[in-house]
Structure 1
Amino acid sequence: MNAIISAADLASESAGPRPPVLLDVRWQLGGPNLRPEYEAGHLPGAVFVDLDAELAGPPGTGGRHPLPDPEAFGAVMRRAGVSAGTPVVVYDGGLGWAAARAWWLLRWTGHQDVRVLDGGLAAWTGGLSTEVPAPAEGDFRPKPGGIGLLDADAAAALAREGLLLDARAAERYRGDVEPIDRIGGHIPGAVSAPTSENAAADGRFRPAAELAERFAGLGATEAPAVGVYCGSGVSGAHQVLALELAGVEASLYAGSWSEWSSDASRPVATGPDPQ
């Protein structure tokens, strides 16, 4: 099944006999909660999910956006009407990072039918609703392990033995700037692959053939295994999704640079060279 869906196809499915559960995960990095924007207008039937509070655990040793407790995540999904056999479509304001985080979490916890609205809310041409729905409780029970997850040690090993992609902006990878975390640079051996290059200016993913060419050029098709990290495990999920569109299976280091850099004992590389 394709991991993304167009606005036209979503409109058609929503009007059909088996409409998907819709999750609105609009989010602003470092900004306020976007529930007010959701309440001002959202896709009809969509339930708001807060990335910081519901798609992540409390910041700490696991990074700025550690994975949520699976049972707590499952309760959030059930309240949103998610069941094991129900299709789910997630969307955000258009960048795709937050939607990809929700997509990744659902896939990691075992849901088999979840897609991201390509281009997010900006791509939607239908009407919006201000009605906050109260869906019937779903039956989704998380079973972690549906797709690959790395911890810090596994990410370090993959950087040596396979391909570890750094999804942050190139200047953060090089260590030229570091606006958020303790120190700049990258995991030794990781290859720079900014998430911004996965999508066009309108937020839609580049065609699968273009993504496949991009990741092949980075060594993904030859590597025995592929992993991704970013700043805190959000934009990295977008990269995992882009790799799936390109036909490449990849694992996510969810703690990412925010976890790695918080431990002064871990090595840091700087500059354009992976090592």
Structure 2
Amino acid sequence: MNPIISVSELAAAVASPRPPVLLDIRYQLGVKGLHAEYEAGHVPGAVFVDLDRELAGPPGVGGRHPLPEVEAFGAAMRRAGVTAQAPVVVYDGWVGWGAARAWWLLRWAGHPDVRVLDGGLGAWKAAGHPLSAEEPRPAPGDFKPVPGGARLLDADGAASMARSGLLMDARAGERYRGETEPIDPVAGHIPGAVSAPTTENLDAEGRFLPAEVLKARFAGLGVTEDLQVGVYCGSGVSAAQQVIALELAGVRAALYAGSWSDWCADGTRPVATGADAS
């Protein structure tokens, strides 16, 4: 299934007899209290989902955004009206990272039909579609997560992927090189990983680049048909967007959910710096 949906496709789906469940993942790195922005205007019918509380466990073991407990995630999705029978569309109001996290979690948890709104809330507004300030109260859903629908790496798996496959670092290049680290306590990257900022998968309007362009980009980074691919970032959020881009390019990639915040918290793990994968 195509992991993204266009604004025009979503507008038609919302007006159809079987509209999707809409989830607003109003996430922005380092910014709290975004429910107020949701209240000020969202896609009509969209339910607010808090990434830090409902799409991640408490920071600590496993990184800054560890995977949530399966039952807690299922309860959050049922509260939002998610069922196994209805399609789900997720979006956010920033650069698409929050929506990608929700997409990946739902896929991992076994939902058969979930897509990300390409371009997010900005694309919806730019197309002239209305916003709503009314917060819906959906009937409880019946979604029960069954993990295993998407490939997941732990730290050992990421280290192995860097040696025998291709491990991509989706953070900004300067963080990969260890020139700066504004969030985590250690700068650098996992040895053997290649720098592949997820921001380079999008156009100026925040939409994914065409599939052929993405294929060429990833081929230039070393992706081949028979190579296993994994992705990490700072805490497993922005890397989910890279997983989407790779899927658009025809590559099924694994996600290291703990990512750099998990890796560098273990003082026994090696750290590399500089521009080359090492």
Smaller-chain TM-score range?
over 0.9
**What is the CA distance between 1:264 and its match in structure 2?**
1.0
**What is the CA distance between 1:32 and its match in structure 2?**
1.2
- Amino acid of the residue matched to residue 18 of structure 1? R
Q: Which runs of 4+ in 1 moved over 4 A?
A: none
Give me the whole-angstrom Cα distance separating, in 1, the residues matched to 2:41 and 2:86. 24
- 1:87 alignment partner in structure 2: 87
Give me the whole-angstrom Cα distance separating, in 2, the residues matched to 1:263 and 1:33. 31
Matched, 1:8 2:11: no
Give me the whole-angstrom Cα distance separating, in 1, the residues matched to 2:114 and 2:51. 17
Q: Secondary structure at the match of 2:89?
A: strand
Give me the whole-angstrom Cα distance separating, in 2, the residues matched to 1:156 and 1:13. 42
**What is the CA distance between 1:33 and its match in structure 2?**
2.3
**What is the CA distance between 1:222 and its match in structure 2?**
4.5
- Aligned to 2:163, which of 160, 164, 167? 160
Q: Secondary structure at the match of 1:22?
A: strand
Q: Which moves more between the two structures, 123-132 or 163-172?
A: 123-132
Report if aligned partners of 1:163, 1:223 keep a CA contact under 8 Å in 2: no
- Aligned to 1:238, which of 221, 236, 241? 241
Once the two structures are superposed, residues 57-104 of structure 1 have per-residue CA deviations (whole angstroms, 9 ceiling, x without a partner) of 000021000000111001111111110111000000141100000000
- 1:105 alignment partner in structure 2: 105
Report if aligned partners of 1:27, 1:33 keep a CA contact under 8 Å in 2: no
- Aligned to 2:200, which of 197, 200, 220? 197
- 1:64 alignment partner in structure 2: 64
**What is the CA distance between 1:201 and its match in structure 2?**
1.4
Once the two structures are superposed, residues 122-156 of structure 1 have per-residue CA deviations (whole angstroms, 9 ceiling, x without a partner) of 01131111111111111100000101000000000
Q: Secondary structure at the match of 2:23?
A: strand
TM-score between both structures, scaled by the size of structure 1: 0.99
Give me the whole-angstrom Cα distance separating, in 2, the residues matched to 1:133 and 1:62. 33
Give me the whole-angstrom Cα distance separating, in 1, the residues matched to 2:241 and 2:223. 16
Give me the whole-angstrom Cα distance separating, in 2, the residues matched to 1:17 and 1:190. 46
Match runs of 1:1-275 below 5 Å: 1-124=1-124, 125-275=128-278
Give me the whole-angstrom Cα distance separating, in 1, the residues matched to 2:112 and 2:254. 17
Give me the whole-angstrom Cα distance separating, in 1, the residues matched to 2:34 and 2:7. 21
Give me the whole-angstrom Cα distance separating, in 2, the residues matched to 1:61 and 1:223. 33
Give me the whole-angstrom Cα distance separating, in 1, the residues matched to 2:71 and 2:147. 10
**What is the CA distance between 1:224 and its match in structure 2?**
2.5
Q: Secondary structure at the match of 2:22?
A: strand
Give me the whole-angstrom Cα distance separating, in 2, the residues matched to 1:202 and 1:30. 22
Report if aligned partners of 2:78, 2:143 keep a CA contact under 8 Å in 1: yes
- Amino acid of the residue matched to residue 255 of structure 1? G
Number of aligned residues: 275
Q: Which moves more between the two structures, 128-137 or 215-224?
A: 215-224
Q: Secondary structure at the match of 1:23?
A: strand
Identity in percent: 72
Once the two structures are superposed, residues 185-241 of structure 1 have per-residue CA deviations (whole angstroms, 9 ceiling, x without a partner) of 100000100011010111100011101111111112245210000000000000001
Report if aligned partners of 1:186, 1:269 keep a CA contact under 8 Å in 2: yes
Segments of structure 1 that go 5 or more residues without pairing to the other structure are none
Give me the whole-angstrom Cα distance separating, in 1, the residues matched to 2:234 and 2:70. 21
TM-score between both structures, scaled by the size of structure 2: 0.97
Give me the whole-angstrom Cα distance separating, in 2, the residues matched to 1:224 and 1:174. 24
Once the two structures are superposed, residues 29-77 of structure 1 have per-residue CA deviations (whole angstroms, 9 ceiling, x without a partner) of 1111210000111111100000011100000021000000111001111
Give me the whole-angstrom Cα distance separating, in 2, the residues matched to 1:150 and 1:227. 8
Give me the whole-angstrom Cα distance separating, in 2, the residues matched to 1:55 and 1:249. 22
Segments of structure 2 that go 5 or more residues without pairing to the other structure are none
Give me the whole-angstrom Cα distance separating, in 1, the residues matched to 2:113 and 2:35. 25
